Amino acid sequence: MRGLRIARGLLMVCNHCETALRQGHYVDERDNIPPDKAELVFDEICANCFDYNRPLIDDMLGSSE
């Protein structure tokens, strides 16, 4: 797993998701995900990465759970 910096913390992703995010130009050369692309990233990561990052994703999307 690898940590990518996102607005409110580190988004931990598997190697496959990291490669896909880099190829989709969601991540810059310093491992940052810009705020305007943050919500788009959540649709691109696999189910395991999504579940692993659920607290961070809920926080960023404003979930009340």
Is 61 strand, coil or helix?
Answer: helix
Write out pLDDT tens, residues 15-40: 999 999 999 999 999 999 999 998 89
Q: Whole domain around residue 33: which residue ranges?
A: 2-61
The whole model's pTM is what? 0.84
- Assess contact for 5 and 41: CB atoms under 8 A: no
pLDDT at residue 63 in the model: 59
Q: How many domains does the chain have?
A: 1
Q: What are 31's two structure tokens?
A: 């491992």
